[in-house]
Every structure is written in structure tokens, then in C-alpha cells.
Amino acid sequence: MNQAALHKLVASRAKDKSPQALFELRLNTNLSLIQQLFFSLYPVEKHNKDFDDLLKLFPKLFALRSKELRLQDIKRLDAGTWYQNEEIVGMQLYVENFNTDIKGLQQKIPYLKNLGINFIHVMPITTRPKGESDGGYAVNSYQKVDKKYGTQEDLLHLTAEFRKQGILLMLDFVVNHTSDEYPWAKNAKKGNKKYQDYYYTFENRSTPDAFEKVLPEVFPETAPGNFTYIQEMDRWVMTVFNNYQWDLNYTNPKVFMEMLTNLVKMVNLGVDLVRFDALAFLWKKVGTISQNLPEAHNLVALFRMCLQVVAPGTIFLAEAIVAPKDIIKYFGEGPKLGNECELAYNASLMALLWNSIATKKTGLLYKSLERVPAKPKESTWINYIRCHDDIGLGYDDGFIREMGWNPPEHRKFLLDYYCQRLDWSPATGLLFMYNPKTGDGRITGSAASLLGLEKALASGDGEQIQLSISKIILLHALILSFGGIPMIYAGDEIATLNEYSFEEDPAKRGDNRWVNRPQQNWALVEKLNDKQLPQSQIYHTLKHLIAVRKSNPIFADSNNLKLHHGGNEHVLVFERTHHSNNGLLVIGNFDERPQVIDLAWVMKLGYFTKGEPMDLVSGEKIVVKSGLLELKPYQVLWLKKA
């Protein structure tokens, strides 16, 4: 049951409005679905006692939640789908790269607020192995802060200040695996059967070999295969990501209850949104690729329903970088409609935007977006250009063929374009996890470097510098105006280039994703008043666009986005509609040459009919005399009806 519906139902039944009474009502309201989900995973004939243990766990977990957070839960339930608000603008960052540690991040709150950021995704800050740790996603603890970031007390001070300043915090819940140094793994290595059963461990290669027949490899270059032999316990353990990340065995209900406890303790630190990491991988089954299985969806829904009882003001983001038809399912389908994650990454939009930059065409973008199933009205997207990870090329082969392109050759072109294999390409990216057997690969690099700024600055080519600036602004303007929450990757607001120092660090050298995990350049920030700097032009334009977005309710996500075809293969057009008829038309040119679109069909939508519309990007009215609307290279317009 979505938050708004739950609130209405609970409020209608509640005579006693105390947090304790409302908790009991939420439990009773959700109990039937929780029971159904639990026994769909753990058959009743074997796990009746386990379900009783879960019921006993709820009041214990609720007792851990502070009075302040309980009252915040009620306030958010009153607000309904508060996360669809146009005023939310996010930033993803590494604490150590942004400003040293947690205290350093707190010191930069004025910078964030000045830009307009009020939602922060902080990358993992809990304890992890000293060497390789997959950027912190190999967890040694779910609550203990790694000493290089500070202390748990520092984190509590930060979250308290965030609440005062109206800033939301998102942390990762690494739900699929732990590190091999996690206490459960350590006990398993010592031969403890209980904890060996918390993971997928096997005494011989029989079952692992059966899995491997169809399991894909996530990191074929650095971590081939999906199982690792652990000499201390003389067993094989499933390690889908890296050999130091052990996959949790959710067929064991005790694992679910232990992880639910970890989740609640984590959100009680003051977490508003939970990034559910690698949730597509949660359930493993021999003979399948063990991704996106129905049981994984039931497990996510079970986590969601349980958290809704204990801490309903906290919501889930699905970190599911899968095909569009699969992403949409993590919002919930059928009986689980709206009952899995409230948010999901719009990974398809991200990848399609990069495709349009390389091809200068929007056909594949349109074909893909038009066939994405409608999401539940209570859900929303996280829209982004770059993040800490690579760019995958998970486009639909059928759509590529409809464009008249050969799928393998097209993917090769994209890898060549972005990864410095074409002399004429402006991009300076790196090739990540290339598989010579299949030709598959991914792309790493900062947004500015991938969009040509690094190469243009090195050559001193003023025209190319301006084109790069326009491309950076174009992509950001699109995610700021598309339906959902925009998420800016820290450093992109000041056009940070690739960071190559990772090659000197043995713990990072084998993972070139670190090229797009740069240090925040505070010396450059001090120079942003120099409007001649490319970085300054980008920063101040993004600051302006964020302010425009936050002051216009039309940007709130109420499923009010409609795609339009502009009759020009280089141009993307979509509209944000509003009940007051004050629509907003977004038009973006993906070509390095000027383009035109016929004004006649634009007028049919109600633009230009009562005078020149205002372009909210430039702050100027658009005057057209020829009957054709002309777009400059990589220009983006936000047209508001006169």
C-alpha cells in the first residue's frame, strides 16, 4: 500500500493519534500482505515459527526509533507523495572526495544550499576492508562509521543539521552481500554452520558449476566467475561481484530478519531515503541468470512493507540498472503495485542521452521512451547524467534495428566514440570491463570529459569549448525538467574533468571507474565569480535552472510528461502539462549544427498563439518571424506559454 493510501486508511481508523497507536495500526493494516509475502518466500509448513519471530521483532524495532523521527514519519505520511515535489534537487558525492570527512561535508552546507541542492546521496561511509572494497560496497558494518570519515556521533550531528536545513539524506543499504570481513563471514570461515548458511556456500563444485552454466559475469576482467574457494572453511562461496563480497542467502529467513534489523538501525541514524543496492540480484536459483526473479521482487516488497510499519517516513530507491521493462517492475506490479520502491534510477534515459550525443540523433531515445510501461502514479524517477559507476549500453536490440543499425556494430561505435578510438571524437573516456568474446563493454569518464571539454581545453579551441559547455548544459537541463528528481554528480556542476591519479593507487588501479570519482576542486569554486571561465558559466547556468525548477510546480512529477515529435531527427521535444493549462515545452538540439522545427505544430499545442513564449533557460522571449523555430547547436529551451 502506498504511503498516501496507508495514511488515509490509518487516519480514518485512528482514535488515538500517538506514534505507538499509529504503529500498531500500520502493523495491523499491512499484516496480511506481509504474511503473504513472507510465506511466498518461506513456505508456511517449514517457517511458521520464523513468521512468529518476525511479528515479535516489529515492536522491538519500533522501540529503537527516536521520538523526533517518529513524529517526522507522521508528518511525511500526512504529506503523501512528498518525494514528487519540484523543490527536491539532489547531488551524489563521496565524502572523502567532496571535503575530507563528515565534518567537512557539514561545513559545505552553505555551498550546497547556494547551488540549490537539498537532497544528498552520500556514498558508503561504513567500515570496509583496508584494500579493495568496491568503493565501500564491501561492507564490514551497516552502522559503524569508518574512522577516516569520522564517528557515528559526527553522522548524527550531520543528519540533525540536515533536518534543520531541510536537506534530505540518502545512504546505501548493501543488501545483496557483505564483505568477507563481516562478522558472519568470519564465523563462517571458522566452520560455524549457522553462519555458513547465511551465505551460498558449497562443499564441492557440483552446485556452483550448475549455476555457472547460465550466470553472467558482472566483472569479467577483474572477477571472472561467480564463486570463490575459501580455504579456511574448505567451501565454495557465491561471489557475484568480487571475491571479497559474499552473496547473502535470502532463502534463509533468519538472514532476512537480521538484515531488516540492520536496515532499521541504519535509517534510525537519520536517513530519509535508502538506496537499495543491487536488488535485482537478491534471489538466486539454479538454471536462471539469478537476476530480476519474482522472488527478488517479493523480497524487496517484504522489506518495504516491514519498514513502512516501523519507519514509514523513509523510502526506497531501486538500484536496478536493467532493461526498461524490468526497471518499471521495481515500483511493484499486480498485488504489489506501488509496494516495492517509491523511486528508481532512470538508467535508460541516462544511457539514451549519451547515445543521442554520440549519434546526434534522437530516434532511439524516442523509440525507447515511448515503449516504457507507465509507472505507478505514486512513484518517481531519479534522473541523472553521471554517477560513480560506468555507463552501460543496455539498449533494446530491436529498437536499434528499427533505426537501421546493426546492434553489435552500433555498440562498438559508441565504445569507440567515447573511449578515444576515433580521432575525430571530442570525448576522452575509458573502456571498462571489455569482453573480447562478446564485444561488450562499458564507458567511464566524467561528464565534462565525455562531452569534450577536456580535449577542447587541452587544444585551446574556443569554439569546441563553447560546444562542450552547451552539451553539458543541455543534458543537465533535460534531467532537471524531465519527470522525477534530478541528481547531479558532485563536480559536474563545475565541469570537473577526468581524475587520473587512481592509476597510482594499487587499491584502485584495476578499476578505471575511479577516473570519474574526482576530488572536489574548492580552489576553482573560489574563482566562480569569473564569468569567463567555462566552469563558471556552467555553474551559474545550473544554479539558475535549479532555481527556476524549484519555483515552478509544473516540474513536480504527477505523470505529467508527454513526448512530442518535432519533425527533426536531431531534436528532442517533451511537454510538462499542468491543470491550469500553463504548459512547459522542452526542446533540445543534439546536433553541433543549428536546427529548425516547424512552428505550426508547436502553435497547435498552444505556444506562440497568444504572443511570444518565455524561454526560462535564457530568461528571454522567443521571437519567430520565419515560421521556423531555430535552435543553436546543442541549445535547450524551456518554453512557457505566454
The per-residue pLDDT for 11 is 56
Q: Is the pLDDT of residue 267 over 90?
A: yes
pTM: 0.93
Instruction: Tell me the pLDDT tens digit for each residue of 511-532.
Output: 999 999 999 999 999 999 998 9
Give the residue with greater pLDDT, 323 vs 163.
Answer: 163
Residues 6+ away with beta carbon under 8 Å from 550 = 86, 87, 89, 116
Helix (H) or strand (E) holding 38: helix 19-41
SS (HEC) of 576-636: ECCCCCCCEEEEEECCCCCEEEEHHHHHHCCCCECECCEECCCCEECCCCCCEEEECCCCE
pLDDT band at residue 10 under the 50/70/90 scheme: low
Instruction: Tell me the pLDDT tens digit for each residue of 559-601.
Output: 899 999 989 999 999 999 876 667 899 999 999 999 999 999 8
Do 83 and 331 form a contact (C-beta atoms < 8 A)?
no
Residue-by-residue DSSP string for 68-101 = HHHHHHHHHHHHSSGGG-TT--EEEE-HHHHHSS
Mean pLDDT of 8-12: 58
Mean pLDDT of 462-489: 97
Residues 6+ away with beta carbon under 8 Å from 229 = 235, 236
Q: Which fold has domain 560-640?
A: Immunoglobulin-like (2.60.40)
Instruction: Tell me the pLDDT tens digit for each residue of 334-389.
Output: 766 678 999 999 999 999 999 999 999 999 999 999 988 888 889 999 999 999 99
Q: Is the pLDDT of residue 447 over 60?
A: yes
Mean pLDDT for all residues in the chain: 93
The per-residue pLDDT for 353 is 98
Do 474 and 468 form a contact (C-beta atoms < 8 A)?
no
What is the torsional sign of CA 441, 446, 447, 448? negative
Residues 6+ away with beta carbon under 8 Å from 573 = 563, 564, 565, 566, 585, 586, 587, 588, 597
What SS3 state is found at 119? strand
Q: Is the pLDDT of residue 506 over 90?
A: no
Q: Is the pLDDT of residue 1 over 90?
A: no
Query: From CA 471, how far away is CA 460, in angstroms rounded?
Result: 17
Q: Is the pLDDT of residue 115 over 80?
A: yes
Lowest mean pLDDT among 40-44, 120-124, 593-597, 605-609: 605-609
pLDDT band at residue 13 under the 50/70/90 scheme: low
The per-residue pLDDT for 348 is 92
- 536-554 in b/e burial notation, b at 16+ Cβ within 10 A? bbbbbbbbebbebbbebeb
Q: Is the pLDDT of residue 7 over 70?
A: no
The per-residue pLDDT for 331 is 92
Q: Is the pLDDT of residue 551 over 90?
A: yes
The per-residue pLDDT for 566 is 85
SS (HEC) of 322-360: CCHHHHHHHHCCHHHCCCCCCEEECHHHHHHHHHHHHHC
Mean pLDDT of 100-108: 98
Question: What angle separates helix 19-41 from helix 44-63, to the nearest 10 degrees?
Answer: 150
Catalytic residues: 277, 319
pLDDT band at residue 324 under the 50/70/90 scheme: confident
Beta-strand relationship, 614-615 and 636-640: antiparallel
What share of the chain has pLDDT > 90, as a percent?
83
Count helices and strands (H / E) in the chain.
24, 23
The per-residue pLDDT for 298 is 95
Lowest mean pLDDT among 148-152, 554-558, 605-609: 605-609
Residues 6+ away with beta carbon under 8 Å from 459 = none
